[in-house]
Amino acid sequence: MTAPLLEVRDLSKAFGNVVTANNLNLSLTAGVLTSIIGPNGAGKSTLINILTGFIPPDSGRIIFQSQDITYEPIYRRVRLGLCRSFQVVNVFTGLTLFENISIPILAAHRRANGLFSTVSGEKAVREEAHRILQRIGLQEQGDLPASALSHGDQRVLEVGIALAARPKLLFLDEPTAGMNPVERIKILENIRQLSQEGEVTFVIVEHDMDIVFSLSERVIVLHRGDVIGDGPPEQIKADPHVREVYLGEEVVA
C-alpha cells in the first residue's frame, strides 16, 4: 500500500470547554473523493482550518506526503499542494476574474515576484488562467470585476481560485452553498471529472446528503470532535450509530 497523502495523528483542539478535535486520527488516500459530514458544531470547519494552517492545533501532528507540516505557514502548505476553498465568498472582489485566477497560478509558477515584467507578458500563466476560466464556465466574463458576478458565480469563482493553485489535496468547504441548480451541477461535474483524472484529491464538507452519497467514495462522520463513522457511503448509511446522532430521519425519508 502506498503512503497516505495526508495523515493526522492525535490531533486535538479545544476552544475553552468546547472540544472541536479530540485526539483525531485520520489518513487520506490519494485519489479517493472523501466527504466529511456531521451536525453543526461537529468540528468540520475547524478540522479544515487546522489542516490548512488557518488555526494551530493544541497538540498532534499533520503529515502531508511524508512531510511534517504541523507548523508550516499557510502559503507553504499551499505550495506543497494543500489548498482549500471557503464557505463564504472569499474572492478578490475588485479584481477581474482573469486576475483572480492568475494570482494563484503566478504563485504556483513562481512568477509572482517579477517587478518589471508584465502580467500580460506571462504567456503560460495567461493560457492556464483561460483554461481554468473555461473549465468553470466563466471564460466570457474574464475581464469583468468579480464584484459584477452573481452570488452563485462568485461561489464558482471561489472554487476556481482554489483549483488554480494546482492542489494535490483540495478541501472544499460547502462548495455548492448558495449556488443555483445549474451552477451546482457545473461544479459537481467539475469535481467528479477532476477527481477521475486523478490529479486532485478532493475532501468535501457538505450538508446536502444527496451530493455526499452520490459523489463520494468515502464518508467520514464527525461528532463533537470525534470520528464516529468512516467508510464507503453504503456502510455509513447503514451504520446505526451514525443514523442515531446525525442522519436519522433524513436518510430514512
Partner 1 sequence: MNRSWTYILAALGIAVLIGIGLFSSRFILYLTMRVMILSIFAMGYNILFGRTGLLSFGHAAFYATGAYGVALCTIHVHSHPVLAVVAGVIAAAVMALIIGFFCVRHTEIYFAMLTLAFGMMVFSLMWNVRGITGGDDGLSGIIRAPISLGLISIPIMKDSQYYFFVLMFFVVSVLLIHRIGRSPFGLVLASIRENHVRTEFAGLPVKRYRLAAFVISGAFAGLAGGLAVFLESNVTPFAAHWSRSADPVLVSLMGGLQTFSGPLVGSVLFVVLRELIERFTHNWMLWFGLILLAIIMGFRGGIVGSTAALLKRSSEQG
For 185, the grid coordinates are 451541477
| d(C-alpha 155, C-alpha 175), whole Å | 7
Q: Is there binding between residue 194 and partner 1 (CB under 8 A)? A: no
| Shortest distance, position 78 Cβ to partner 1, whole Å | 4
Q: CB of residue 198 vs partner 1: minimum separation in angstroms? A: 22
Structural Rg of the chain based on CA atoms: 19
Nearer to partner 1, 202 or 213 (CB): 202
Give the shortest CB-141-to-partner 1 separation in angstroms.
17
Q: Pick the closer one to partner 1 by CB: 66 or 118.
A: 118
Considering only residues 22, 29, 65, 90, which one is a binding residue for partner 1 as defined by CB under 8 A? 90
Nearer to partner 1, 116 or 198 (CB): 116
Instruction: Count the residues of the shown chain that bind partner 1, applying the rule CB under 8 A.
Output: 38
- Asked whether 22 and 226 are in contact (CB, 8 A), the reply is yes
Q: Measured from the CB of residue 99, what is the shortest distance to partner 1 in angstroms?
A: 6
Closer to partner 1 by CB, 77 or 218: give it: 77
Our finding on whether 248 is near partner 1 (CB under 8 A) is no
**What is the C-alpha separation between 65 and 188, in angstroms, rounded?**
26
| Closest by CA position to 159, among listed 127, 196, 184, 125 | 184
Interface with partner 1 in residues 8-67 (CB under 8 A):
52
CB burial of residue 177 (10 Å; 0-12, 13-18, 19+): middle
126 is an interface residue for partner 1 by CB under 8 A: no
Q: How many helices (H) and strands (E) does the chain have?
A: 10, 10
Calpha distance 119→228 (Å, rounded): 48
Is 84 among the residues that bind partner 1 (CB under 8 A)? yes
Binding mask 92-121 for partner 1 (x = CB under 8 A): xxxx---x--xxx-xxx--xxxxxxxxxx-
Cα 41 from chain centroid (whole Å): 18
- Show the site string, 138-177: x = touches partner 1 by CB under 8 A, - = not: -----------------------xx-xx------------
Shortest gap between Cβ of 151 and partner 1 (angstroms)? 16
Pairing type for strands 59-64 and 6-15 reads antiparallel
Q: Element (H or E) spanning 132, and its range?
A: helix 123-135
